[in-house]
Structure 1
């Protein structure tokens, strides 16, 4: 599904100027219809899947307890 720059910016929580900059630099693929740039929203599916996976891995890492150091000796 093709969306305008404004709709895409709202969907991916970025400013319109940043999305337009990415379009002009080729970081976001788009089609120019003579009046405006249209962006296929399916290209962000993989990005959001990877982002969710990364968030999950960070949560697992935060929940993992720090192991005791084997070099610490209790010398009283």
Structure 2
């Protein structure tokens, strides 16, 4: 599915100016149809998958219990 720059900005929840800058820099692949740039929505799938994997990794890390330190001496 192809999106306009405005629709892409709404989909990614980013400012339109930033999306335009990324398109001009070639960081987002697009097609110019003579009037507007069209951006394939599927190119962001990998990005969202990686973000979700990283979010899960961080959550797993934060939920991991702190191991006991074997060098702790009882001062009682």
| TM norm structure 2 | 0.92
1:13-61 alpha-carbon deviations (Å, 9 max, x no partner): 1111111111111110001111111100010011111111111111111
- Aligned-residue offset at 1:75: 2.5
Q: Could you list the runs of 5+ residues in structure 1 that have no partner in the other structure?
A: none
Alignment size in residue pairs: 76
Q: Do structure 1's residue 4 and structure 2's residue 9 form an aligned pair?
A: no
Q: Which runs of 5+ in 2 are unaligned?
A: none
Partner of 2:16: 16
Q: How does 1:57-72 map to 2 (within 5 A)?
A: 57-72=57-72
Runs (4+) of structure 1 exceeding 4 A deviation are none
Cα-Cα RMSD:
1.0
Q: 1: distance between equivalents of 2:72 and 2:24?
A: 56
- TM-score, normalising length from structure 1? 0.92
Q: Please state whether the residue corresponding to 1:72 is helix, strand or coil.
A: coil
